[in-house]
Amino acid sequence: MDRRFRPFARLAAAGGLALLLAAGAFAAPAQHPIDARTRAALDREAHALLRQKGVTHVGFYGFTIDPAGHVTSAWVVRSAGNPRLDEAALAMIRKAILKRRPAGAPARMQFVIPIEFRRHGAPVAPSAP
């Protein structure tokens, strides 16, 4: 995994998917629905993550960061299936700060990341380098 996205890989605890989206692609889920192709890709990724030992829920969450690396907005792209888990994931994302932005990055950047929810005590596979 690219070093620039490691903070979000740790956030996601998935060690895999971090999709950089064009700025302005998803200002709000209701206003900018996800196309069928993207939805199918998210579903495939969710099913793959759910097959890992100990994973009970997987949600995909979008967020926007400003030039300072602060999260300015966060939303549910694909629910984990439990509103309390979704709120916990969004609260965690809102507290995050991206310390190193990619060189030449636009003023606003948007990401979609998966977050795995595991049973207490389930092993977490290390993130890919």
pLDDT of 8 reads 41
- Domain residue spans of the chain: 3-24+34-118
Nearest Cα to Cα of residue 92 among 119, 118, 115: 115
Nearest Cα to Cα of residue 74 among 54, 96, 56, 57: 96
**What does 23-44 look like in DSSP terms, one character per residue?**
TTTTS-TTTSPPPHHHHHHHHH
Tokens of 32: 């900018």
pLDDT in tens, 81-124: 989 999 999 999 999 888 877 778 888 888 899 998 887 765 55
DSSP-derived letter for residue 97 is B
Higher confidence at residue 121 or residue 11?
121
Residues 6+ apart with CB under 8 A from 98: 7, 8, 65, 69
CATH topology of domain 3-24+34-118: 3.30.1150
Tokens of 33: 């629905």
**What count of residues does the chain have?**
129
Q: How far apart are CA 52 and CA 15, in angstroms?
A: 12
pLDDT in tens, 29-49: 444 467 788 778 878 888 888
